[in-house]
């Protein structure tokens, strides 16, 4: 009878238990444990414990992202503890690339991975893109005020329209992006798809790159509770301005030089920076609950964030709640059904700034008081008889106007999956995003600047609703046969977007006895007005992609997507966007024998992406109903209709054609990772407004046409060194990026056009500085008389102490025709550095970012130095006088523009900078102190933006200006604050 028993049953089967620890003896939750050559597996709980049924002689495989895989043969023992060591090799990391995941080692496109741990010591108050400034090829700028969302560009400007990348959250493309109401603490991973091959699966929406965000989910094990609390103290950099005595001295000199009697002055001595600026407080509190079983998991989180602002007049508050769950059931051994959802609810409220205190601080004079009962509203400002200025009193503006916005957003997705034989998977993913917005603007009676006309009190209310629905169906096939690995995905996507807005406004509000204004429209008595509109947009797409690998040496990937957009007319709605990519892992070849190179892969790809950088109705001619005319003997009023803007019904897709080559290498026992890219992209049929004569009847703006062609070329490099030595663990990452844009064609025969102080020429980058060049200061009358052309004075009105300008076109006079190239606002290269050091429970973090080679226009300094209009002045202004002939600055002249023309090169400065973005110190308490109830406790302190190396004399060289024609113009942008953050992270 013994011979009839299957041989397999003779093997000893037992229940193995144990614990998985890291090198410091800490438990590692979430470790995958697989019995080799079977479908049997489990995962460690929050305390690192596991149990699994295994037969003697079978191999157990322990794996966890970021740690080396451990393989142990079971020999019948009842328990087994395993120590996992941190891996220096990241090629086995899984990367999300859109509708699929692949190993990092198998990537054929340009994809960067951002680890949210880089921001664990900071509070992110804007969009997620604001945190990506050290990712190679990603350029971001933000402002320090509450509610500010920075602009993000991936590989430069590719269009005259928006450069905003596409955000994909948990597989769903979201219209609003991961903006200021998104909780950064919920992020598990971020991937940035930078080239056409990597992003082609998203077709027409991916021309500006794609940022893929995967949020956190629960793991198998008992409930895990994470709590974090962070508090930031923020303050703004300040101008070095004159006080009352210094200002009067310079002001008197300007009046004397202008031939005016000295001005009368108020009696105040006001530091407007003290008045407008304050210490800001940002509080961020986060809690999450997660866990799971063999067949289901859950993750629930909530976040509260408040920002008091660093100036008067603004503050914000945000509350978010997020929940995701998933569950699966096996139908036999070969069929698995899975269902899940991810829902995020956020409420964001903000009291918006109604003025720019950064500009007001130098526009207002130190002699003017904050309050003046003689003025309507009771606030101080310029006066026609003394201290004339048109500067805005920021206290008055913020007190007499109120602008508030509130946004309630619900977004997420619901999905179902069917897996067959672990090879074929069908997935339906329904994404949704709804937003309810409320806006209120209250204008009280009173003035905040000189010569301001009287306005009645008024109230404007605006309500809007946004809805985006996405229906994705995908079918994915993955298989291995011999040395061949194949992954294929095909699918369809339908997006339906609508936005509707209603508004109403009335004047002359009723007030209570204490002067408080009612804030309801029914409490206003005059001039009722209402309006509204609705936008709709639809996009239907079919797509497919394959990933093929042979013998882990040759990799090939191809993508095609067809999009149909309602933004274009019926004849031009469809666009087809293909890509192809290949890679050769040369290190796996038999002839490759370089011992210190662990892995080397060469990559190349080419792809086409589309863009629809226009509004939803730009191809449709609209009839406007606002004209009115008087008819008849009774002179009655009749409403009319007319078309005021001509449109182009032949609008079509912008197309981005991009070529990318690169390599990835790991060397020196996986301690050094290096990646480099070179790319060249060309955007054809760029959508741009075309100027036409008003005599055509067009009076509603320039109609869009497909006219221009732009080119971007660039190089990206990233290197990471990781090493573990005993209790020491450190890593250093450095990245370098370059990008150069060039206008290949403007269309319709145009060779260049001028925008303020910049010109954009065919064959050159966009928005170069073309200004009248300052050629020093006339130190004497002899120098004035020597500045001639054919015996005639070039500047006949000049006097000693005035600016000497270069007669560039050699026509004997100084005018706008003398503009010449004086610099580029585009950096030669960007630099990013991330470094961490850990020893036992102590960890240090350093993050730096910089841009080098750009020339910028210092707008606030140009305002302070003009003197033709009163404002505050630089305290270090060194004016020319007969007794100070070698002065650094020209003589001040009141109401005289000869030294104050705005299109001169005087205020062009080197905008290069290197900024220490973060310096953080943290400490994690050991288990012997925490006991069994607490898994982890970490305290930290972080200094942000405290140190900046730059020659720029403005408040912040990292200022934001997303206007591509004036990218290097600092108009008085809100600077990034300096801050110190303290926090605690606790895990149960």
Q: Say whether pLDDT at 7 is over 60.
A: no
Per residue in 323-370, pLDDT (tens digit) is 999 999 999 889 999 999 999 999 999 999 999 999 999 999 999 999
For the chain, what are the domain ranges?
2-83, 94-223, 751-773+812-856+902-988, 777-807
Per residue in 814-848, pLDDT (tens digit) is 999 999 999 999 999 999 999 999 998 899 999 99
What pLDDT was estimated at residue 37? 67
DSSP percent split of the chain into helix, strand, coil, nearest 5: 10, 50, 40
What pLDDT was estimated at residue 6? 41
Residue with tokens 């990233």: 718
Query: For 162-197, b where at least 16 C-beta lie within 10 A, e where not — what string?
Result: ebbbbbbbbbbbbbbbbbbbbbbbbbebbbbbbbbb
What class does CATH assign to 94-223?
mainly beta
Instruction: Kindly state the average pLDDT of the residues 533-547.
Output: 94
831 forms beta bridges with 736, 850
CA distance 648 to 652: 10
**Band of pLDDT at residue 928, cut at 50, 70 and 90:** confident
Per residue in 245-276, pLDDT (tens digit) is 999 999 999 999 999 999 999 999 999 999 99
Q: Say whether pLDDT at 4 is over 60.
A: no
499 forms beta bridges with 466, 535
Strands 969-970 and 855-858: parallel
Q: What is the CA angle 618-621-625, rounded to 5?
A: 115
Q: Are 147 and 199 in contact (CB under 8 A)?
A: no
Residue with tokens 């992020």: 187
Which position has the higher pLDDT, 643 or 806?
806
46 forms beta bridges with none
Instruction: Kindly state the average pLDDT of the residues 3-23.
Output: 64
* Mean per-residue pLDDT over the chain, rounded: 91
Which position has the higher pLDDT, 495 or 613?
495
**Band of pLDDT at residue 12, cut at 50, 70 and 90:** low
Burial of residue 346 (number of CB atoms within 10 Å: 0-12, 13-18, 19+): buried
524 forms beta bridges with 509
**Band of pLDDT at residue 8, cut at 50, 70 and 90:** very low
What pLDDT was estimated at residue 91? 58
Instruction: Kindly state the average pLDDT of the residues 7-28.
Output: 71
Distances (CA, A) of 403 to 144, 220, 524: 18, 47, 17
Instruction: Indicate the pTM of the whole model.
Output: 0.89
CA distance 587 to 938: 41
Q: Say whether pLDDT at 282 is over 90.
A: yes
Provide the token pair at 89: 């090799």
Per residue in 935-988, pLDDT (tens digit) is 899 999 999 999 999 999 999 999 999 899 999 999 999 999 999 999 999 999
Fold classified for 2-83? Immunoglobulin-like (2.60.40)
CA distance 503 to 505: 7
Query: For 712-732, b where at least 16 C-beta lie within 10 A, e where not — what string?
Result: bbbbbbbebbbebeeeebbbb
What pLDDT was estimated at residue 352? 95
Sheet strands side by side (includes 855-858): 908-910, 855-858, 969-970
Distances (CA, A) of 176 to 180, 432, 469, 679, 899: 10, 11, 12, 29, 46
220 Cβ contact list (under 8 Å, min separation 6):
30, 42, 43, 45, 291, 292, 293, 294, 297
What pLDDT was estimated at residue 92? 62
Q: Say whether pLDDT at 99 is over 90.
A: no
CA distance 720 to 833: 10
**Band of pLDDT at residue 223, cut at 50, 70 and 90:** very high
Provide the token pair at 151: 């602009």
Per residue in 679-696, pLDDT (tens digit) is 999 999 998 877 777 667
Strands 424-443 and 401-420: antiparallel
Instruction: Kindly state the average pLDDT of the residues 804-823.
Output: 96
CA distance 321 to 396: 37
What pLDDT was estimated at residue 658? 96
Q: Say whether pLDDT at 155 is over 80.
A: yes
Q: 739 phi and psi, to 5 degrees?
A: -155, 135
Distances (CA, A) of 226 to 183, 289, 300, 986: 15, 7, 10, 6
Instruction: Kindly state the average pLDDT of the residues 749-775.
Output: 94
Which position has the higher pLDDT, 711 or 122?
711
Among residues 596, 721, 719, which one has the least CA distance to residue 669? 596
Q: Are 476 and 99 in contact (CB under 8 A)?
A: yes
Q: Say whether pLDDT at 2 is over 50.
A: no
CA distance 427 to 417: 4
**Band of pLDDT at residue 133, cut at 50, 70 and 90:** confident
What pLDDT was estimated at residue 117? 85
Compute how many other C-beta atoms are within 10 angstroms of the C-beta atom of residue 913.
19
Q: Are 192 and 132 in contact (CB under 8 A)?
A: yes
Q: Which helix (H) or strand (E) holds 703?
A: none
Provide the token pair at 713: 């070329």
Q: Say whether pLDDT at 200 is over 60.
A: yes
CA distance 735 to 716: 7
What pLDDT was estimated at residue 87? 67
**Band of pLDDT at residue 3, cut at 50, 70 and 90:** very low
Sheet strands side by side (includes 210-215): 111-114, 187-193, 210-215, 166-169, 172-174
What pLDDT was estimated at residue 643? 78
Q: Are 195 and 679 in contact (CB under 8 A)?
A: yes
Provide the token pair at 413: 């997705």
Residue with tokens 């863009």: 611
Q: Say whether pLDDT at 498 is over 90.
A: yes
């Amino acid at each position: 009878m013994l011979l009839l028993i299957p041989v397999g049953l003779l093997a000893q089967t037992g229940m193995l238990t144990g614990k998985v620890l890291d090198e410091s003896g800490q438990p590692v939750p979430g470790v995958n444990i697989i019995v080799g050559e079977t479908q049997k597996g489990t995962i460690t709980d929050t305390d690192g414990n596991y149990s699994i049924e295994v037969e003697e002689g079978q191999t157990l495989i322990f794996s966890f992202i970021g740690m080396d895989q451990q393989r142990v043969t079971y020999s019948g023992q009842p328990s087994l503890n395993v120590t996992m060591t941190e891996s220096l090799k990241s090629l086995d990391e899984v990367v999300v690339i859109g509708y699929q995941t692949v190993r990092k080692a198998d990537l054929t496109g340009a994809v960067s991975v951002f680890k949210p741990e880089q921001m664990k010591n900071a509070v992110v108050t804007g969009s997620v893109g604001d945190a990506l400034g050290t990712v190679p090829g990603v350029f971001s700028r933000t402002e320090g005020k509450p509610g500010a969302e920075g602009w993000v560009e991936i590989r430069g400007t590719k269009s005259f329209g928006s450069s905003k990348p596409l955000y994909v959250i948990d597989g769903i493309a979201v219209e609003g992006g991961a903006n200021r109401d998104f909780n950064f603490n919920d992020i598990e991973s971020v991937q940035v798809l930078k080239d056409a091959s990597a992003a082609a699966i998203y077709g027409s929406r991916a021309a500006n790159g794609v940022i893929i965000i995967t949020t956190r989910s629960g793991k198998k094990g008992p409930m895990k509770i994470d709590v974090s609390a962070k508090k930031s103290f923020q303050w703004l950099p300040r101008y070095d301005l004159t006080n009352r005595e210094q200002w009067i001295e310079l002001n008197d000199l300007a009046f004397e030089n202008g031939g005016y009697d000295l001005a009368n002055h108020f009696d105040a001595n006001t530091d407007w920076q003290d008045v407008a600026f304050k210490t800001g407080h940002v509080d961020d509190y986060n809690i999450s609950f997660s866990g799971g079983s063999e067949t289901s998991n859950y993750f629930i989180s909530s976040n509260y964030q408040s920002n008091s602002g660093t100036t008067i007049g603004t503050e914000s508050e945000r509350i978010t709640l997020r929940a995701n769950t998933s569950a699966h059931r096996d139908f036999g051994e070969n069929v698995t059904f899975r269902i899940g959802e991810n829902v995020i609810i956020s409420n964001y409220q903000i009291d918006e700034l109604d003025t720019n205190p950064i500009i007001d601080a130098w526009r207002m004079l130190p002699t003017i008081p904050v309050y003046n009962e003689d003025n309507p509203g009771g606030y101080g400002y310029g006066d026609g008889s003394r201290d004339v200025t048109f500067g805005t009193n920021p206290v008055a503006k913020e007190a007499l106007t109120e602008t508030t916005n509130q946004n309630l957003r619900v977004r997420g997705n619901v999905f179902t999956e069917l897996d067959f034989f672990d090879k074929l998977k069908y997935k339906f993913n329904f994404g949704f995003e709804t937003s309810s917005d409320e806006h209120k603007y209250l204008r009280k009676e009173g003035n905040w600047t000189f010569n301001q006309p009287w306005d009645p009190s008024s109230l404007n209310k605006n309500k809007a609703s946004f809805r985006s629905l996405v229906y994705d169906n995908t079918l994915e096939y993955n298989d291995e046969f011999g040395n061949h690995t194949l992954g294929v995905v095909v699918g369809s996507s339908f997006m339906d977007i609508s936005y509707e807005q209603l508004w109403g406004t009335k004047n002359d509000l009723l007030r209570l006895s204490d002067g408080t204004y009612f804030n309801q429209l029914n409490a206003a008595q005059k001039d009722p007005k209402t309006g509204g509109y609705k936008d709709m947009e639809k996009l239907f797409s079919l797509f497919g992609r394959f990933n093929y690998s042979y013998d882990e040496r040759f990799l090939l990937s191809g993508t095609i997507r067809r999009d149909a957009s309602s933004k274009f007319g019926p004849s031009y709605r469809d666009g087809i966007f293909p890509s192809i990519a290949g890679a050769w892992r040369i290190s796996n070849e038999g002839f490759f024998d370089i011992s210190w190179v662990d892995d080397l892969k060469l990559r190349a790809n080419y792809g086409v992406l589309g863009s629809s950088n226009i509004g939803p109705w730009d191809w449709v001619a609209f009839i406007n109903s606002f004209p009115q005319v008087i008819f008849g003997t009774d002179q009655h009023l009749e409403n009319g209709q007319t078309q005021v803007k001509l449109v182009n019904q032949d609008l079509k897709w912008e197309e981005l054609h991009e070529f990318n080559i690169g390599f990835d290498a790991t060397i020196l026992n996986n301690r050094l990772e290096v990646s480099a890219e070179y790319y060249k992209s060309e955007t054809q049929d760029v959508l741009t407004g075309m100027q036409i004569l008003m005599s055509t009847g067009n009076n509603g703006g320039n109609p869009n046409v497909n006219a221009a062609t732009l080119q971007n070329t660039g190089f990206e490099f990233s290197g990471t060194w990781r090493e573990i030595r005993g209790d020491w663990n450190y890593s250093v990452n450095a990245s370098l990026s370059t990008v150069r844009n060039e206008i290949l064609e403007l269309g319709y025969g145009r060779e260049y056009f001028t925008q303020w102080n910049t010109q954009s020429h065919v064959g050159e980058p966009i928005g170069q500085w073309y200004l009248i060049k300052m050629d020093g200061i006339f130190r004497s009358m002899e120098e004035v008389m020597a500045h001639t052309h054919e015996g005639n004075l070039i500047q006949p009105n000049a006097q000693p102490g005035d600016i000497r300008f270069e007669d560039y076109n050699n026509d004997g006079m100084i005018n706008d025709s003398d503009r010449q190239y004086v610099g580029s606002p585009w950096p030669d290269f960007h630099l990013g550095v991330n470094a961490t050091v850990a020893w036992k429970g102590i960890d240090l973090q350093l993050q730096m970012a910089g841009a080098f080679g750009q020339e910028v226009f210092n707008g606030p300094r140009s305002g302070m130095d003009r003197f033709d209009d009163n404002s505050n002045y630089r305290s270090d202004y060194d004016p020319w006088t007969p007794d100070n002939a070698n002065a650094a600055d020209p003589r001040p002249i009141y109401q005289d523009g000869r030294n104050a023309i705005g299109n001169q090169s005087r205020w062009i400065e080197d905008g290069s900078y290197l900024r220490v973005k973060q310096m953080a110190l943290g400490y994690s308490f050991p288990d012997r102190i925490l006991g069994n109830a607490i898994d982890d406790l970490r305290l930290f302190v972080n200094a942000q933006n405290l140190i900046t190396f730059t020659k720029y004399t403005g408040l912040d060289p990292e200022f934001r200006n997303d206007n591509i024609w004036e990218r290097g113009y600092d108009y008085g942008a809100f600077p990034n604050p300096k801050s110190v953050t303290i926090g605690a992270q606790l895990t149960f």
